[in-house]
Amino acid sequence: MAKPPRAWQRMLSGRRLDLLDPTPVDIEIEDIAHGLAFVARWNGQTFGDYAYSVAEHSLLVETLFSRLCPKATAAERLTALLHDAPEYVIGDMISPVKAAVGPGYGDLDDRLSAAIHIRFGLPAVTPAKLKRQIKKADRISAWMEATQIAGFTRAEADRFFGAPDLDLIADLSIVLRPPVAVRSEFTERHASLLQAML
């Protein structure tokens, strides 16, 4: 009988994360921050000397979400920061690849999200209204990324992501940084939001 394929990954923290059955006790923020800081968005097809990482994107989404929802709780802001956290082990797939992979990708993402959320005191499943609000911030971030570092014209970005309120983002710009700097900021922001939840 054939041996089943390995479905776990060894993390730098020493944790062994089972991708098919992830548990909150195997989730560490340092692993998430490190992984996300080294995962490139846009399949790495961005201008600059450093890849634009999922960690950098997550920090921007949390900033945008906080502007869209100024009365949001620390837990809701933490949910925004962690909205792509499963990508620390499954990577960032562009939408066409996700569509080609099919529903299995979504199921894996949902299992990892639930374990991550429980680990940090959040509901396993993000409430629908909050998910929509974070998605709006995510789309604004995608528009900014598309026009500032991925070579899209504004017209193209408007078509794919929707035109944002330019006043909301007037003082924001994307600056590509070394992964270690982004990892550090992500970890610090996570700690700050966790502290605010107490």
**CA 34 to CA 187: how far, in whole Å?**
9
For residue 16, report the phi and psi dihedrals to the nearest 5 degrees.
Answer: -115, 105
- DSSP characters over 144-188: HHHHHTS---HHHHHHHH----HHHHTT-------HHHHHHHHHH
Label residue 111 exposed, middle or buried (CB < 10 Å: 0-12, 13-18, 19+).
middle
pTM: 0.94
pLDDT < 50 regions, the chain: none
**CA 80 to CA 78: how far, in whole Å?**
5
Tell me: the pLDDT tens digits for 77-130?
A: 999 999 999 999 998 877 777 777 777 788 889 999 999 999 999 999 999 999
> Which domains are seen in the chain, by residue range?
25-196 (1.10.3210.10)
Report the pLDDT value the prediction gives residue 104, as an integer from 0 to 100: 79
- Residues in contact with 49: Cβ distance below 8 Å, sequence separation at least 6, in sequence order: 176
Count of Cβ atoms closer than 10 Å to residue 17 Cβ: 21
Report the pLDDT value the prediction gives residue 160, as an integer from 0 to 100: 96
